[in-house]
Amino acid sequence: MLKGKANWDAAFETITGSLKTLATLLEKQKIAAAGPMMVVYTSTDDSGFTFIAEIPVAQEPKNPGKDISIGQSPEGRTLKFVHRGSYDNMDNTYEAITNHLDDKKLEARDTFIEEYVTDPLKTAEDKLVINVFVPLK
């Protein structure tokens, strides 16, 4: 896990930079990912957001470094939505999610989880497939 903070204009670059840092550590230590890369959004406001970039692993890395930590992936009851296409169009997906929650009178926790079905470090941005998980209260 690697905690980060970004403004909206540099969101994708900041997220992929954090994921690349984690992937590089795992590659150097010859540790395979045990699942898709994820980003957990821990807070948002008009200027930006805080997040935790995560890569699931079956074995813990040795000497992860001062900024990288080991932790559990989020769990609990969630709704799953799928975004296809550019990260720049994520606003449309989140707007649809908000409308769905309002229509169904569901209350979400203050976090959102993006699971990258396609590798955001290697996939053309307009070909991204991202599962968005919305934890419910």
* 115-133 pLDDT, tens digit each: 999 999 999 989 999 999 9
What fold, for 2-135? Multidrug-efflux Transporter 1 Regulator Bmrr; Chain A (3.20.80)
d(CA 136, CA 76): 8
**Residue 99, pLDDT score:** 97
Q: Is the pLDDT at 63 greater than 90, yes or no?
A: no
Residue 51 backbone phi and psi in degrees, to 5: -155, 170
Looking up tokens 């990258």 gives: 116
High-pLDDT (> 70) share of the chain, %: 100
CA distances from 33 to 11, 27, 59, 100, 108 (A): 23, 9, 9, 32, 29
Residue 107 backbone phi and psi in degrees, to 5: -115, 125
The model's pTM is: 0.89
pLDDT in tens, 64-112: 888 999 998 888 899 999 999 999 899 999 999 999 999 999 999 989 9
